[in-house]
C-alpha cells in the first residue's frame, strides 16, 4: 500500500502545481486586456508578477521549513486556500497598487506553498526512479500552459478580466483543496531510521551548516541565473508575438506549444538524469537553454515562434526538476523542505527579473531583442556556475557501503 501510494503523491503534486502555477501565469494573458480596461501601464501590471516572484522567494524558505516541521499536508492546504482567496480579491482591486499587493504578494506567497513542500515530499517517497518521479510532478506544473493559459485566454475574450480571474479563483479552490488532503509525509520520516546515501553521510549536518555549504550556495546561484534566463522570454513572448502581428489567441497558443514540448522535456531529462547523472544532464541543459531563448530574437511569424517554443519548452522545463534530485543526493531527507525552499527562493528571485526588466526594455527600446540577448548571457552564467558544483565527498562511500 505504502509503495503504491507514492504515485498518488506524484499525481496530487502534479495537479496542485498545474493549478497554482497556471493561476499565477494567467497574468501574462491578462496583461493587455487589463491595461486597456484600467489604463494601468504594461510595466505597472508586469511589476505585479515581479512582486509575485519576490513573494515566492521570501515564502519558499518559510513554507519549506514549515513542511519539514509539520509535514507537507497542512502547508499545501493553507497555500491552496490562500491562493484561491487572493485571486478572488485581486480581481476586485480598484487601483494598480492594490492589485500589485493582492496578486503580487498573496498569490506569489501562496504559490510557493506548493513547490518546495511537494518536491521535498516526493523525493522522500522515492529511493528509485527519483528523477522520473520529480519530473512527473514538475510535468504537472508544466501542464499549466496547455490548460490554464488557454482557459484564461478564452475567459478573457468571453468576459472581462475581473470575471475571468474570479472563475480561475473558483477552479483553484475546487481542485486544489481536495488534492492537498491526499498529501502525506514520506514514510521514512515517520520512523526513526537513518537512510542511506546523503542521510547516512550527512546525518550530523544542521540546516544552518547545510545552507552555509559551497554545495548549497552553488545550487542557489545556478538556479537564480537559470530562472533569470527564461523568466523574461516566458512572460513577454505572448506580448512580443502580438507586436509582430500574431492574433492574441494564436499568440497564447505559443505557451501551449512550450508546454507540450516541456512535458517531453521533463520526462526525458528526468530519465536521462537517472541514467547519466543529474548534474551532467543539467549542465548540458543550461547550455542549450541559453541558445534556445536567444533564438526568439530572430523570429516574427507564428510558425517560427512555434519552432522556437518547442526547443525552449523542452529544454527549460527539463532542467528544472533536476535541482531537486541533486539536492536529495547531497542533503538529508529531514531538511529537504528547507533546502529545496532555499534554492526555490533563488529561482524565484531569478524569475522576478524578467517581467520588470522585459517591460522596461520594451518601453525604452520599443523592442524585445535586447531582453533575449541578456537572457542568453545569463544562461551561459548558469551553466558555468553549475560546472563548479562538487558533491559532498562522504555521500558516495556511504551509499556504496549501504
Condensed to tens digits (0 to 9), the pLDDT of residues 1-55 reads: 566 788 888 889 989 989 998 888 888 888 788 888 888 888 888 888 888 888 8
Ramachandran bin of 71, using left for φ above 0, alpha for ψ from -120 to 50, beta for the remaining angles: left
Whether the pLDDT of residue 164 is over 60: the answer is: yes
Given pLDDT bands bounded at 50, 70 and 90, which one contains residue 204?
confident
What residues contact 397, with CB distance under 8 A and at least 6 apart? 201
Distances, alpha carbon 388 to alpha carbons 215, 221, 263, 269, in Å: 9, 11, 29, 21
What's the whole-number average pLDDT of the chain?
Answer: 85
Diameter of the chain by CA atoms? 65
Summarize the confidence of residues 93-119 as an average pLDDT: 89
Distances, alpha carbon 246 to alpha carbons 86, 157, 242, in Å: 32, 16, 5
Helix (H, G, I), strand (E, B) or coil at 277: coil
Q: Which of 51-65, 189-203, 279-293 has the lowest mean pLDDT?
A: 189-203
Closest residue by Cα to residue 61 from 284, 319, 341, 287:
341
Whether the pLDDT of residue 84 is over 80: the answer is: yes
Whether the pLDDT of residue 202 is over 70: the answer is: no
Please give the pLDDT value at position 365: 84
Instruction: Name the burial class of residue 44, with classes exposed (0-12), middle (13-18) and buried (19+) by CB atoms within 10 angstroms of its CB.
Output: middle
Tally the C-alpha atoms within 13 A of residue 165's C-alpha that lie toward its C-beta: 27
Angle at 222 between CA 59 and CA 6, to 5 degrees: 60
Percent of the chain with pLDDT over 70: 93
Please give the pLDDT value at position 193: 43
Instruction: Report the distance separating Cα 371 and Cα 358, nearest Å.
Output: 6
Residue with cell 531537486: 324
Summarize the confidence of residues 205-234 as an average pLDDT: 90
pLDDT digits (tens, 9 = 90+) for 132-147: 888 888 878 777 767 8
Which is higher by pLDDT, 368 or 284?
A: 284
Instruction: Report the distance separating Cα 382 and Cα 389, nearest Å.
Output: 11
Which is higher by pLDDT, 180 or 125?
A: 180
Please give the pLDDT value at position 191: 54
Please give the pLDDT value at position 198: 53
Judge contact between 362 and 368, C-beta under 8 A: yes
Closest residue by Cα to residue 374 from 350, 396, 395:
350
Instruction: Report the distance separating Cα 67 and Cα 279, nearest Å.
Output: 26
Please give the pLDDT value at position 222: 95
pTM over 0.85: no
Judge contact between 170 and 43, C-beta under 8 A: no
Q: Kindly state the cell numbers that stand for 266.
A: 521533463
Q: Which of 77-91, 258-272, 377-391 has the lowest mean pLDDT?
A: 258-272
Please give the pLDDT value at position 190: 64
Whether the pLDDT of residue 74 is over 90: the answer is: yes
Instruction: Name the burial class of residue 206, with classes exposed (0-12), middle (13-18) and buried (19+) by CB atoms within 10 angstroms of its CB.
Output: exposed
Whether the pLDDT of residue 192 is over 60: the answer is: no
Please give the pLDDT value at position 203: 61
pLDDT digits (tens, 9 = 90+) for 238-276: 888 888 888 888 888 887 788 788 888 988 888 888 888
Judge contact between 125 and 6, C-beta under 8 A: yes
Please give the pLDDT value at position 40: 84
Judge contact between 61 and 109, C-beta under 8 A: no
CATH number belonging to domain 2-186+197-388: 1.20.1250.20
Whether the pLDDT of residue 225 is over 70: the answer is: yes
Whether the pLDDT of residue 278 is over 90: the answer is: no
Residue with cell 510532478: 137
Which is higher by pLDDT, 400 or 277?
A: 277
Amino acid at each position: 500500500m505504502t509503495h503504491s501510494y507514492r504515485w498518488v503523491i506524484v499525481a496530487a503534486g502534479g495537479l496542485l502545481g498545474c493549478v497554482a502555477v497556471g493561476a499565477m501565469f494567467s497574468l501574462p494573458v491578462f496583461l493587455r486586456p487589463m491595461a486597456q480596461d484600467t489604463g494601468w501601464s504594461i510595466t505597472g501590471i508586469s511589476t505585479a508578477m515581479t512582486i509575485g516572484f519576490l513573494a515566492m522567494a521570501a515564502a519558499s524558505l518559510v513554507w519549506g521549513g514549515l513542511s519539514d516541521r509539520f509535514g507537507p499536508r497542512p502547508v499545501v492546504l493553507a497555500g491552496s486556500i490562500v491562493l484561491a482567496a487572493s485571486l478572488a480579491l485581486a480581481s476586485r482591486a480598484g487601483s494598480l497598487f492594490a492589485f500589485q499587493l493582492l496578486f503580487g504578494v498573496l498569490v506569489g506567497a501562496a504559490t510557493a506553498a506548493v513547490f518546495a513542500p511537494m518536491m521535498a515530499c516526493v523525493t522522500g517517497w522515492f529511493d528509485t526512479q527519483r528523477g522520473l518521479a520529480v519530473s512527473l510532478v514538475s510535468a504537472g506544473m508544466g501542464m499549466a500552459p496547455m490548460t490554464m493559459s488557454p482557459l484564461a485566454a478564452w475567459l478573457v475574450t468571453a468576459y472581462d478580466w475581473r470575471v475571468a480571474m474570479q472563475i480561475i479563483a473558483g477552479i483553484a479552490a475546487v481542485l486544489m483543496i481536495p488534492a492537498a488532503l491526499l498529501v502525506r509525509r514520506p514514510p521514512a520520516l515517520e520512523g526513526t531510521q537513518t537512510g542511506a546515501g546523503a542521510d547516512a553521510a550527512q546525518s550530523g549536518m544542521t540546516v544552518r551548516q547545510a545552507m552555509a555549504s559551497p554545495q548549497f550556495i552553488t545550487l542557489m546561484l545556478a538556479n537564480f541565473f537559470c530562472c533569470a534566463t527564461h523568466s523574461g522570454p516566458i512572460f513577454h513572448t505572448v506580448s512580443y508575438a502580438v507586436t509582430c502581428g500574431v492574433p492574441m489567441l494564436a499568440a497564447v497558443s505559443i505557451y501551449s506549444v512550450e508546454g507540450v514540448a516541456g512535458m517531453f522535456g521533463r520526462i526525458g531529462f528526468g530519465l536521462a538524469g537517472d541514467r547519466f547523472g543529474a548534474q551532467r544532464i543539467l549542465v548540458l541543459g543550461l547550455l542549450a537553454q541559453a541558445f534556445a531563448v536567444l533564438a526568439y530574437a530572430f523570429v516574427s511569424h507564428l510558425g517560427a515562434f512555434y519552432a522556437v517554443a518547442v526547443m525552449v519548452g523542452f529544454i527549460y522545463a527539463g532542467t528544472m526538476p533536476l535541482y531537486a534530485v541533486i539536492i536529495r543526493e547531497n542533503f538529508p531527507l529531514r531538511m529537504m523542505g528547507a533546502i529545496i525552499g532555499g534554492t526555490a527562493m533563488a529561482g524565484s528571485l531569478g524569475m522576478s527579473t524578467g517581467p520588470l526588466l522585459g517591460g522596461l526594455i520594451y518601453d525604452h527600446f520599443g523592442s524585445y531583442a535586447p531582453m533575449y540577448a541578456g537572457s542568453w548571457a545569463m544562461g551561459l552564467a548558469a551553466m558555468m556556475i553549475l560546472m563548479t558544483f562538487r558533491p559532498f565527498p562522504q555521500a558516495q562511500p556511504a551509499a556504496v557501503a549501504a
